[in-house]
Amino acid sequence: MDRFDAMRLFTRIVELRSFSKAADDLILPAATATHTIKQLESRLGVRLLHRTTRQVSPTLDGEAYYQRCLRILADVEETEAGFGTSGVLPKGKVRVDLQETLARHYVLPRLREFFARYPDIDLEIGMGDRFVDLVREGMDCVLRVGELKDSSMVARRVASLAQVTVATPAYFAQHGEPLMPDDLAGHRAVNFYSSASGRMLPFEFRTSDGIRTLDLPGKVGVINAEAYVACCLNDLGLIQVPRYHVEDQLQSGALREVLQDFAPPPMTVSVLYPHQRQLSPRVRAFVDWLADVMSVAR
């Protein structure tokens, strides 16, 4: 194995915290991975990794070497990609984690287009609403809603989604239909908890004085977008969601929008990737395609 391949193996071990996972990722025998790292440590004259039965982690020297490897490998890929006249397309595996409802509505239906454009790229897709540690879990990028909180991540904004406040006609028949935010006294909500912070997200309303936030009582709280809408459809309270997520229910009359003059601020959608990692050509290709796909989201 040449030095660049050894660097690639080492960076994947650090990111996945596992020899076996890195070997599987690069389609190598586990014994080859172990032997290669031993040779690498012997050549450098330092110990790069702490090994336990549960996890592998970099030493101080290993962390410094990891950062250098990232820059070197990114420069190599960038240099090779710069000679694009040969018609060589990006290739390799890209690991992504997508917010589930966005994936189902916008991304998954158009994957055939991506593979037609980039036949040599393979995608490993996870979906959910939970917080993802990109480096520890070996992800190349994630698609998420909300403002960026983690300064170690680079965020590329790809969409701004209009939001609505809705509930069922049966709910309004029981509790009345609010015309102003002040009318929400006595109302209840299906509450949504942030997977990143664990905190309940307040309702937000745009007024002439700025954004007004309200915490509404509720019998149920969820951390999943699909469960959020499902509970609302079962007459359990008000919710605030991107319009696209409930457009069909609004059209059918299963849900009714209220407080249109005080609509919540738009929800930002971003692609996130680690700050220290330059995008490889294959990841850049996917991120650019994802931005194009999400550009139609409103």
Per DSSP, what are the bridge partners of residue 155? 272
Q: What percent of the chain has pLDDT over 90?
A: 53
Look at residue 152 in the predicted model and tell me its pLDDT: 66
In this structure, are 45 and 181 located in the same domain?
A: no
Q: Report the alpha-carbon angle 19-58-137, nearest 5.
A: 60
Nearest to 284 by CA among 293, 273, 295: 273
- Could you tell me if 282 and 145 are in contact, meaning their C-beta atoms sit under 8 angstroms apart? no
- Could you tell me if 15 and 93 are in contact, meaning their C-beta atoms sit under 8 angstroms apart? no
Cα 193 to Cα 200: distance, rounded to the nearest angstrom: 4
Domain final residue, candidates 42, 63, 81: 81
pLDDT at 115 over 70: yes
Confidence of residue 277 (pLDDT cuts 50, 70, 90): low
CATH number at residue 34: 1.10.10.10
Q: Which residue has the higher pLDDT, 175 or 55?
A: 175
In this structure, are 107 and 156 located in the same domain?
A: yes
In this structure, are 152 and 172 located in the same domain?
A: no
In this structure, are 40 and 51 located in the same domain?
A: yes
Q: Quick one: how many helices (H) and strands (E) in the chain?
A: 11, 14
In this structure, are 65 and 209 located in the same domain?
A: no
pLDDT at 219 over 50: yes
68-83: pLDDT as tens digits? 888 788 777 666 665 5
Cα 143 to Cα 201: distance, rounded to the nearest angstrom: 20
148-163: pLDDT as tens digits? 665 667 888 999 999 9
Structure tokens at 117: 């454009």
Q: Which residues contact 165 (CB under 8 A, 6 or more apart)?
A: 203, 205, 238, 239, 240, 257, 258, 259, 262, 263, 264
In this structure, are 261 and 277 located in the same domain?
A: no
Look at residue 131 in the predicted model and tell me its pLDDT: 67
Q: Which helix (H) or strand (E) holds 39?
A: helix 30-44
pLDDT at 84 over 90: no
Amino acid at 174: Q
Amino acid at 212: R
Range(s) of the domain holding residue 29: 3-81
Confidence of residue 194 (pLDDT cuts 50, 70, 90): confident
